[in-house]
Amino acid sequence: MSSLHSFEIDNNPFVGWEIPKSLTNASTLQNFSANSENISGHIPDFLGPNEFNGQKGDGTLGGGIDVIQNMTYLKDVWLHSNGFSGPLPDFSGLNGLESLSLRHNAFTGVVPMSLVNRGSLKVVNLSNNLLQGPTPEFNSSVLVDMVKETNSFCLPNPGERDPRINGRPFICNNGNITIVNFQKMGLKGTISPELSALKSLQRLVLAENNLTGTIPEDFMTLPTLTELDVSNN
C-alpha cells in the first residue's frame, strides 16, 4: 500500500472494527474517511492525512486526540459524535486547518489559544462537550457553533479572562468555580493555601501526585467544600 493516497469506506454495514495497523505502510496516505462507520478503539498514532473523518457509526472512537497535533497537513477534522475525552491538543502546527468539528464528545479543559488564533480556521464546532475556562473569542470570520449550556465556561462573554482560571482544569457552575481536579498531574511540593480563595469550591482533587507537607489550615474556611482527596501522595 505504499502508493495509497485515499482510503474511503463511508456508509458501509461493517461489523465493529478497529483501524488496522497495516495502514502504517501507506506512507503516502492523504485522506482517511470513515463516515457513518462502526469503528471503535483509538486513533492510531501513525495516521497523517489531510482530512480525518471519524464520525459515529454503531461504535465510537474514544480516548484523547493528541495524535492530530502531529498531522501538520490537516485541513478538515471531523470527529463529532464520538466518545473522545481529555483536553484539546496543541493546534499550533496545523497551519492549514480550516474546519474542526468536535461536537457531541466529552472534551474537557480550556479551549487553547493555539486554536482560537488559528488564522486559517473557517469553521469550528465545539458544542455538547465539557469544556471549561473562559469563553473563547474566535475571529469574526470563523463560523462558530459552541452551545454554552452544555459546556462549563466560567465567564459568559467571549474574550473575558478570569484570573482564577489561569488555564487549569477548573469546573464552573453559574460562574462559580466548584471543582478543581489536579489528579495525576505530576505535582510536587506543598499544597498552595491560595486555593482557599475559591469560596465556592465543593470538590478539591489532588490525588496521585507527589505532594508533600501539610494540608493548609485555610481550607477550614471553605464553606461549601464536601470532598478533599489527597490520596496517594
- Give me the tens of pLDDT residue by residue for the chain, a chain 233 residues long: 677 778 888 887 777 777 777 776 766 777 777 777 677 666 666 565 555 565 544 456 777 888 888 888 889 998 888 888 888 889 999 999 999 999 988 887 778 889 999 999 999 999 988 787 778 889 999 999 987 666 767 655 544 444 444 444 655 666 677 888 887 777 788 888 878 888 888 889 888 888 899 999 999 999 999 999 999 99
Q: Please indicate, yes or no, whether residues 155 and 41 belong to a single structural domain of this protein.
A: yes
So what's the pLDDT on residue 160?
A: 41
Range of the domain at 61: 6-159
Number of domains the chain contains: 2
Do 186 and 146 share a structural domain? no
Task: Find the CATH number of the domain harbouring 52.
Answer: 3.80.10.10
Overall pTM surpassing 0.75 (yes/no): no
To the nearest whole percent, how much of the chain has pLDDT over 70?
77
Long-range contacts of 120-125 (CB under 8 A, 24+ apart): 120/95, 120/96, 121/97, 122/98, 123/98, 123/99, 124/99, 124/100, 125/80, 125/100, 125/101
Can you read off the three cell numbers belonging to residue 109? 479543559
Whether 20 and 63 map to the same domain: the answer is yes
